[in-house]
């Protein structure tokens, strides 16, 4: 069964690396906060009311983060970059399937 805590566990190592993403538990669900690295303000806040939403949000952030790592933020990602990022995403899909019992 997929829970919010499981999702956070799946992405724990990524969340340690990406200092611009923070997950906060609230009474209405988990908030995903994207901070601006160059200021004390946030860029975006998204309320995730289900574990599936939280997983998709974090996977999307992971993709963006890995694209920035590959391109060093100096160029647009190539098809090869995108293919490499998708390979890096596969373990997250597999961990999710394990938790869902699929």
For 43-81, the pLDDT digits (tens) are: 999 999 999 999 999 999 999 999 999 999 899 999 999
Closest to 20 in 3D by CA, of 40, 48, 49: 40
Spatial CA neighbour of 33 closest among 25, 23, 41 = 23
Confidence check: pLDDT of 102 > 90: no
Name the residue ranges covered by the structural domains of the chain: 4-100
Phi/psi for 34 (5° steps) reads -105, 115
Q: What is the pTM of this model?
A: 0.91
- Cα distances (Å, whole numbers) of residue 30 to 35, 88, 96, 99: 16, 24, 18, 19
Residues 12-45, buried b or exposed e (16+ Cβ, 10 A)?
Answer: eebbeebeebebeeeeebbbbebbeeeeeeeeee
pLDDT tens for each residue of 2-21: 999 999 999 999 999 999 99
């Amino acid at each position: 069964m997929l829970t919010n805590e499981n999702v956070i566990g799946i992405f724990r190592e990524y969340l340690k690396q990406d200092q611009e993403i923070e997950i906060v538990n609230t009474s209405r669900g988990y908030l995903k906060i994207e901070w601006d690295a160059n200021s004390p303000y946030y860029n975006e806040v998204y309320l995730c009311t289900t574990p599936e939403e939280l997983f998709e949000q974090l996977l999307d952030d992971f993709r963006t983060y890995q694209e920035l790592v590959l391109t060093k933020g100096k160029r647009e990602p190539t098809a090869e970059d995108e293919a490499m990022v998708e390979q890096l995403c596969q373990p997250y899909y597999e961990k999710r399937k394990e938790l869902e019992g699929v």
